[in-house]
Structure 1
């Protein structure tokens, strides 16, 4: 296996530091000087890696979506009834070392901000949400087949509404600085979907 090139490592470091800063301050609040200082990259080097701040935002969101889907895929691949996998996915949203979904989800943090700011960034997040809902649809179908999930007339619509509920709960949790909305979403998910 070939070691990553220095330029790839530097680009990755900028994206990682940028994600943390965006989660803290939003995309509009991200200053390039702050990003480069946090990344340990000379000021003039940013444009070697990214053509613009928007190009950086697109790359950051693409990496985020890849990471998010990989984490979801790892849960989906477990050899457990679908209801347990679904419960694991949403229970993780309540929090851990990295915080709750309200703290670490870039869809929650950026959807309203970037929807009017950048069509490319909006499209990346929208495609990511669609991919999550597609995976949740497959999980609901698997659960209906294995008997662990209550039959749904339209698993696709149910998955989209379920994820929308969780995004909304995360926004309310962020506003209220309380885990209660996420706890309520988990209880509602278990009540409505688990046999």
Structure 2
């Protein structure tokens, strides 16, 4: 095996190679030897960057959220249209990523969430930070929608603050994604989209 010299690019290379493996079989289902073989790096290079498999798992999650939150910012703040249109665009993207042919676009939170929270406090904390980053961004977009007039929540949601609505939406979509994985059917995700429009007070053609 031709070893790759330790550089920051090698660290990212290891994380990139590990991502699809973890999406396929989870954290405990992928051994260190498999990651090393796939990345074509020796064990010494791995431990140069990660002190343990747990530290490696935390780094995988942090890298995942860095990329995901960047994409979320692009959809919720940089995309054209009203805040309401950007919100629906974000959830359209979520639906497409969970039902399309690209397995690597699947949600790593759905795959690893329940598994690693009982195994590692540092990985649980990484998940908590990442998911909070998502709901914070959703809340800011909801607030922007109220400011630009594109979001007029129905009476039952008017008393909820933007953060509460954001958390409710994220919980709904996370649960729907898990159910879609269990049933191999997108019906739960389509229902999540209908519920999202209802909670935000949006018509089907918004």
- Please give the per-residue CA displacement for 1:156-188, whole angstroms capped at 9, x wherever unaligned: 111101100000000100100111111111122
Output the TM-score relative to the length of structure 2.
Answer: 0.86
The number of equivalent residue pairs is 189
Which stretch of structure 1 is more off in the superposition, 71-80 or 21-30? 71-80
Q: 2:89 and 2:176 mapped to 1: Cα distance? A: 17
Q: 1:79 and 1:23 mapped to 2: Cα distance? A: 32
**1:156 and 2:163 are equivalent in the alignment:** yes
Q: Which runs of 5+ in 1 are unaligned?
A: none
- RMSD over equivalenced CA pairs, Å: 1.7
Q: Which runs of 5+ in 2 are unaligned?
A: none
Q: Give 4+ residue runs of structure 1 displaced > 3 Å after superposition.
A: none
Matched with 1:86 is 87
Matched with 2:102 is 98
Matched with 1:35 is 35
For residues 118-133 of structure 1, the aligned pairs below 5 Å read: 118-133=120-135
Matched with 2:8 is 8
SS of 1:94's partner is helix
- Please give the per-residue CA displacement for 1:69-115, whole angstroms capped at 9, x wherever unaligned: 10000112223101111111111112245349xx6111111111111
For residues 1-195 of structure 1, the aligned pairs below 5 Å read: 7-76=7-76, 77-95=78-96, 96=100, 98-99=102-103, 104-151=106-153, 152-153=158-159, 154-193=161-200, 194=202
Q: 1:93 and 1:39 mapped to 2: Cα distance? A: 29
